[in-house]
């Protein structure tokens, strides 16, 4: 979750003492990193009054919510033709950590929907996603599998099934779900990254590294492949190899702050304050409203204090 302020797409709600109100900004993008205009963002907290806020994203995918009481809020972003994304944030008074939502595109010709109408598909996905958000893993998996059975062409659903298995720490089942997707889409980088990171979660670092190195050699390898390869290399205490992978991730998407932040941390670990500062400043320039920018700002302050 990430993002920014949007004039005209902001919901202002006066909820009690202004000093106790929180402000949350964010952005909604698709899996390619492109902004989604007109996405609906909902914030809910059953213990607050009002207990629900709604906003929509502008042409740059940005949104803002103001007037939230302090406490844990559930955020959810959705748009027609996309699988929803969401998560929780402990909202505090004032400005909070920016949120970033990534929506998986589901637009397909009607013939690909099988026995489901577009309306039925959206409702079924909403039910499954709600169960997922509540961490009712088995029920969510059942709902996702029902969607897949009725619309076999929606192979992207395998990603959600795998994610639910990872949620319940059924790692082998998650890897099997990713492999089912790869049978239909052999070049799907999300499945390859999923297998690698699931392997890492189960302690199989060698498989994680091997899977990502193979994916990184493929034409059109995504930024996530390079970034996660860097994560695996760093987990193996190979900072130089990790830095090379992070640099490729940054090259694949110069507007992404995560690899720049990782490069800065590697430089700090080596005692190279000048290089660390360069990377942290780059984060604040190219991705200024991301959580990584907030972390980079903190690291820059630490470097200043250490002078």
pLDDT tens digits, one per residue of 255-285: 788 999 999 999 999 999 999 999 999 998 8
Q: What is the third-level CATH fold of 1-107?
A: Immunoglobulin-like (2.60.40)
Q: CA 108 to CA 112: how far, in whole Å? A: 6
Q: Looking at residues 130-137, what average pLDDT do you find?
A: 91
Domain boundaries, the chain: 1-107
User: pLDDT digit string (tens) for 61-109?
Assistant: 889 898 899 989 999 898 877 888 888 889 998 888 889 999 987 655 5
User: pLDDT digit string (tens) for 141-171?
Assistant: 999 999 888 888 788 889 999 999 999 999 9
% of the chain beyond a pLDDT of 70: 88
**Could you give the C-alpha distances from 39 to 29, 35, 117, 148, 293, in angstroms and in order?**
9, 10, 21, 24, 24
pLDDT at 7: 28
- Residue 112 in this model has a pLDDT that exceeds 80: no
pLDDT at 113: 52
- Residue 295's SS3 state is helix
Least confident of 111-125, 221-235, 237-251: 111-125
pLDDT at 260: 95
Secondary structure, 3-state, 224-280: HHHHHHHHHHHHCCCHHHHHHHHHHHHHHCCCCHHHHHHHHHHHHHCCCHHHHHHHH
User: pLDDT digit string (tens) for 64-76?
Assistant: 898 899 989 999 8
């Amino acid at each position: 979750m990430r993002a920014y302020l949007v004039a005209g797409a902001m919901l202002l709600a006066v909820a009690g003492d202004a000093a106790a109100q929180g402000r949350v900004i964010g952005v909604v993008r698709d899996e390619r990193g492109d902004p989604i205009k007109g996405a609906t963002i909902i914030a809910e907290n059953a213990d607050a009054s009002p207990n629900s806020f709604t906003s929509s994203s502008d042409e740059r995918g940005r949104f803002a919510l103001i007037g939230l009481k302090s406490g844990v809020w559930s955020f959810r972003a959705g748009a027609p033709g996309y699988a929803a994304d969401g998560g929780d944030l402990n909202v505090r008074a004032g400005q909070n950590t920016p949120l970033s939502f990534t929506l998986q595109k589901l637009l397909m010709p009607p013939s690909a929907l099988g026995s489901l109408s577009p309306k039925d598909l959206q409702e079924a996905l909403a039910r499954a996603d709600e169960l997922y958000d509540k961490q009712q893993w088995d029920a969510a998996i059942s709902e996702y599998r029902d969607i897949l059975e009725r619309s076999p062409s929606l192979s992207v659903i395998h990603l959600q099934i795998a994610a639910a298995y990872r949620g319940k720490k059924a790692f082998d089942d998650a890897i099997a779900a990713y492999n089912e997707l790869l049978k239909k889409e052999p070049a799907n980088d999300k499945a390859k990254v999923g297998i690698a990171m699931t392997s890492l979660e189960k302690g199989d670092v060698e498989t994680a590294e091997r899977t990502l190195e193979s994916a990184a050699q493929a034409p059109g390898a995504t930024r996530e492949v390079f970034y996660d390869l860097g994560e695996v290399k760093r987990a193996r205490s190979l900072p130089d190899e990790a830095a090379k992978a992070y640099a490729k991730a940054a090259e694949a998407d110069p507007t992404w702050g995560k690899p720049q932040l990782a490069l800065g941390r590697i430089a700090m670990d080596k005692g190279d304050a000048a290089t660390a500062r360069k990377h942290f400043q780059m984060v604040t320039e190219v991705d200024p409203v991301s959580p990584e920018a907030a972390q980079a700002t903190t690291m820059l302050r630490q470097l200043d204090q250490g002078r």
